[in-house]
Amino acid sequence: MADPIRIALAGLGTVGTGVVKMVQTHAQMLTARAGRAIEITAVSARSRSKDRGVDLSGYVWEDDPVALARRDDVDILIEVMGGEDGPAKAAVETALKNGKHVITANKAMLAHHGQALAELAEANGAALRFEAAVAGGIPCVKALTEGLAGNQITRVMGVMNGTCNYILTQMEDTGADYADVLKDAQELGYAEADPAFDVGGIDAAHKLALLSATAFGTRVDFAGVKTEGIDKITLTDIQHAAHMGYAVKLLGVARMNEDGLEQRMQPCLVPHSSPLGQLDGVTNMVVFEGDFVGQCVFSGPGAGEGATASAIMGDVMDIARGLNIPAFGVPATDLEAADLSASGATAAYYLRLTLADRPGTFAEAARILGEHDISIDRMRQYDHAAVEAPVTIVTHAAVPEHLHRALAAIDASEVSLATPVALRIEAL
């Protein structure tokens, strides 16, 4: 049997502790499957005295994660500290420069520095793996780089943030408004005290940028992801969408259009009967479309101790077996920056207008839409007060830029009493 594969673990929070538990619980099974023993040799975290519920006495302790990354008795550095820069990035760079493999769950670091780190890994003959950085326990990176490697990927989409999905599904199921459900999510531990990264779509956009680069063979471009959160979604929109057979989801979509790469993370409507529409709670779902395979749907836990540790161990097993695939599926030096799509693919839209309650206001709004080549598929007017007339519209497929101009014109007109709301309807 080959020599053991030796692991250094930087970070002993929820995920790091989960990795320790998995190695200790399944040592015999992991050895049998990898063909060599999987051993933790050293660890690093902020506090030595904290009780983490696992036995760490058999591991060397390093206070400095960079010193941990330099150790001679380490083959793989597992980085689960978090943080875009700082100690996490320094430790990863040190490990790679010393020819050590790196496995990380740090989506923010990779979204901003993934290209440089991938080039550093390849220059030193090391692997850089990040299954745990995207969609928790779902093996979606492996699906792209291995199982679907024979396909030209045409579209990537998915629900990649469990906090947002929990909030949106609870709003629909209970009729509670956004603020109340967010507070509930914080009390349950699904949302942080400062939830901006989650509800603002940033966390999910990091993940989309990594999947997009892997799917389309481009450099990671987080800045190129058009990002919109769920904080402006109202209960009214969720209820109106449900009446029309749709569910509201924070949906990430990446596709290669004729004029370049389109990447967006935004609230969208999806058919309620679809797998994405039926996705409840904190579960994640990722959908890949390939030219030969068609559509593949992957669903599972998007975060948590067990799910993330499971993803990390999958990467450990690959390295232990001698599998070293470039971080983004092709050599980093072959990756090129993608041209960004100027307007994006056409789509139908859900619109909510608040019009003055007097004759001719809807006709004026419809006229403005028509002037911008926006065709109405169906509309509905809801009960209203004496002053306002709320109207919902579903359009036929429209060019996004044309729609935005039309809504700006409606907003500036005398018939509009509030800024129009527009949600894209994603075809599945």
CATH code, 35? 3.40.50.720
Q: Are 308 and 20 in contact (CB under 8 A)?
A: no
CB atoms within 10 A of CB 262: 23
Q: Give me the pLDDT at residue 321, please.
A: 96
The dihedrals phi and psi of 29, each to the nearest 5 degrees, come to: -65, -45
Q: Give me the pLDDT at residue 428, please.
A: 85
Strand order through the sheet with 128-129: 60-61, 38-44, 5-10, 76-79, 101-104, 128-129
Residue found by looking up tokens 């014109």 in the block: 409
* Confidence grade of residue 255 (pLDDT, cut at 50, 70, 90): very high
Catalytic center residues: 207
Q: Which residues contact 369 (CB under 8 A, 6 or more apart)?
A: 375, 376, 393, 395, 406, 410
**Domain end residue (candidates: 133, 153, 186):** 133
Same domain, 45 and 127: yes
Residue 363 has pLDDT above 80, yes or no: yes
Q: How many residues are there in the chain?
A: 428
**Domain end residue (candidates: 116, 133, 150):** 133
- Angle ∠(291,297,301) on CA atoms, nearest 5: 145
Percent of the chain with pLDDT over 70: 99
Same domain, 278 and 360: no
Same domain, 160 and 291: yes
Same domain, 14 and 81: yes
> Residue 304 domain-assigned?
no
- Alpha helices by DSSP H, listed for 5-146, are 14-25, 27-34, 65-70, 86-97, 107-123, 140-142
Same domain, 117 and 177: no
Average pLDDT over residues 323-334: 95
- The burial of 278, by beta-carbon neighbours within 10 Å (0-12 exposed, 13-18 middle, 19 or more buried), is given as middle
Residue 385 has pLDDT above 90, yes or no: no
Same domain, 108 and 14: yes
Residue-range definition of the domain harbouring residue 47: 5-133
Q: Are 73 and 41 in contact (CB under 8 A)?
A: yes
The dihedrals phi and psi of 198, each to the nearest 5 degrees, come to: -80, -65
> Residue 325 domain-assigned?
no
Same domain, 155 and 121: no
| Angle between helices 14-25 and 305-320 in degrees, nearest 10 | 60
Q: How far, CA to CA in Å, does 60 sit from each of 57, 161, 174?
A: 8, 35, 50
Same domain, 287 and 228: yes
> Residue 310 domain-assigned?
no
Residue 260 has pLDDT above 90, yes or no: yes
> Residue 370 domain-assigned?
yes
**Sign of the CA dihedral with 299 first, then 101, 320, and 23 last:** negative
> Residue 335 domain-assigned?
no
CA distance 63 to 154: 46
The 10s digit of each residue's pLDDT in 279-322 is 998 899 999 999 999 999 999 998 888 999 999 999 999 999 99
The residue among 333 and 383 whose pLDDT is bigger is 333
Q: Give me the pLDDT at residue 79, please.
A: 98
CA distance 163 to 54: 28
Residue 11 has pLDDT above 90, yes or no: yes
Q: Give me the pLDDT at residue 384, please.
A: 65
> Residue 318 domain-assigned?
no
Same domain, 145 and 290: yes
Q: Are 156 and 288 in contact (CB under 8 A)?
A: yes
**Domain end residue (candidates: 68, 102, 133):** 133
Provide the number of structural domains found in the chain: 3
Average pLDDT over residues 11-31: 95
Same domain, 244 and 279: yes
Same domain, 156 and 126: no
The CATH code of the domain that includes 275 is 3.30.360.10
- Alpha helices by DSSP H, listed for 156-287, are 162-174, 178-188, 196-199, 202-216, 235-243
Q: How far, CA to CA in Å, does 268 sit from each of 7, 34, 49, 170, 353?
A: 42, 42, 46, 16, 17
The 10s digit of each residue's pLDDT in 144-196 is 999 999 999 999 999 999 999 999 999 999 999 999 999 988 888 788 778 88
- The burial of 402, by beta-carbon neighbours within 10 Å (0-12 exposed, 13-18 middle, 19 or more buried), is given as middle
Q: Give me the pLDDT at residue 381, please.
A: 82
Q: Are 271 and 255 in contact (CB under 8 A)?
A: no
> Residue 306 domain-assigned?
no
- Angle ∠(239,242,247) on CA atoms, nearest 5: 105
The 10s digit of each residue's pLDDT in 198-243 is 999 999 999 999 999 999 999 999 999 999 999 889 999 999 999 8
Indicate the average pLDDT of the chain.
Answer: 94
> Residue 324 domain-assigned?
no
Q: Give me the pLDDT at residue 61, please.
A: 96
Same domain, 206 and 247: yes
